[in-house]
Amino acid sequence: MQQAPRIAPSILAADFAKLGEEVRAVTEAGADYIHIDIMDGHFVPNLTIGPAVVAALRPHSPLTFDVHLMIAPADLYIPAFVKAGADIVTVHPESGPHLHRSLQLIKSLGKKAGVALNPATPLDVLDHVWDDIDLVTIMSVNPGFGGQSFIAGALSKIAAARKRIDAGGRTIDLEVDGGVNNENAAEIIAAGADVLVAGSATFSGGPEAYAQNIRTLRGPAAHTGGS
């Protein structure tokens, strides 16, 4: 029986002039993770924040900090993000020559290791690292910007990842990132996602709307105890 999905607001869609307040607001509104998008203007065509900002946000929420690294190289900066307060560190396979080494580095620092797959990156890049990961992020947009449209082809990839995770028997979060909204959340959950990243859909309407936005994304399963 599928559990109610966890919701990970991407703070990329928050008001950057008051990030601490925004993180507190979504925490109080019932978010499960705080999704933090790190971009370097090189691996992706956008720039966001570094470890100093993550460290500044850490006191504002006890929730899992789900740090999505869209930077290359990643390994060089992983210790700094862990020190800043990351609980999950997710890398893209294309961001360095040695995915296994990056995952071992994250785990050696005592944190959960994730891999994010771009829309054109096949699932089989994970064939030999399934035992080394705690989270897979299926990107349903090309990384770099919030507010893009969900790429429908991601649904079959989510379903395939679900199958592979269930067959493997280890606990691995299946996260979906990009263009998640009230209209498509149900089919993404039905395809097998257990964590929905949602930037625009969470942060629309201002802080008074966050709790309802999160409830709507979770869907009816959340109200019936996860059936």
Q: Which residues bind ligand DX5 (CB under 6 A)?
A: 10, 12-13, 35, 37, 68, 141, 143-144, 146-148, 177-180, 197-201
Give CA–CA dist 16/25, Å, rounded: 13
Question: What is the nearest approach in angstroms of ligand DX5 to the Cβ of residue 132?
Answer: 22
Question: What is the nearest approach in angstroms of Zn ion to the Cβ of residue 177?
Answer: 4
Q: Which does 178 bind (CB under 5 to 8 A by kind): Zn ion, ligand DX5, none?
A: ligand DX5
Question: What is the nearest approach in angstroms of Zn ion to the Cβ of residue 223?
Answer: 27
Beta-bridge partner residues of 70: 39
Question: What is the nearest approach in angstroms of Zn ion to the Cβ of residue 225?
Answer: 29
- Residue among 156, 117, 152, 140 at smallest CA distance from 198: 140
Closest to ligand DX5 by CB, 102 or 202: 202
Task: Give me the residue whose beta carbon is nearest to ligand DX5.
Answer: 199
User: Of 40, 66, 134, 177, which one is the catalytic site residue?
Assistant: 177
- The verdict on whether 177 is a catalytic residue reads yes
Q: Which does 96 bind (CB under 5 to 8 A by kind): Zn ion, ligand DX5, none?
A: none
Which H, E and C letters describe the chain, residue by residue? Answer: CCCCCEEEEEHHHCCHHHHHHHHHHHHHCCCCEEEEEEEECCCCCCECCCHHHHHHHHHHCCCEEEEEEECCCCHHHHHHHHHHCCCEEEECHHHCCCHHHHHHHHHHCCCEEEEEECCCCCHHHHCCCHHHCCEEEEECCCCCCCCCCCCCCHHHHHHHHHHHHHHHCCCCEEEEECCCCCCCHHHHHHCCCCEEEECHHHHCCCHHHHHHHHHHHHCHHHHHCCC
Q: Which does 198 bind (CB under 5 to 8 A by kind): Zn ion, ligand DX5, none?
A: ligand DX5
- The verdict on whether 40 is a catalytic residue reads no
Please give the residues from 50 up to 79 whose contact with Zn ion meets the rule CB under 5 A: 68
Q: Using CB under 5 A, pick the residue from 173, 177, 191, 201 that binds Zn ion.
A: 177
Q: Which does 51 bind (CB under 5 to 8 A by kind): ligand DX5, Zn ion, none?
A: none
User: Of 32, 37, 66, 75, which one is the catalytic site residue?
Assistant: 37
Closest to Zn ion by CB, 68 or 157: 68
Residue with tokens 């199958």: 163
Binding site for Zn ion (CB under 5 A): 37, 68, 177
Active site residues: 37, 177
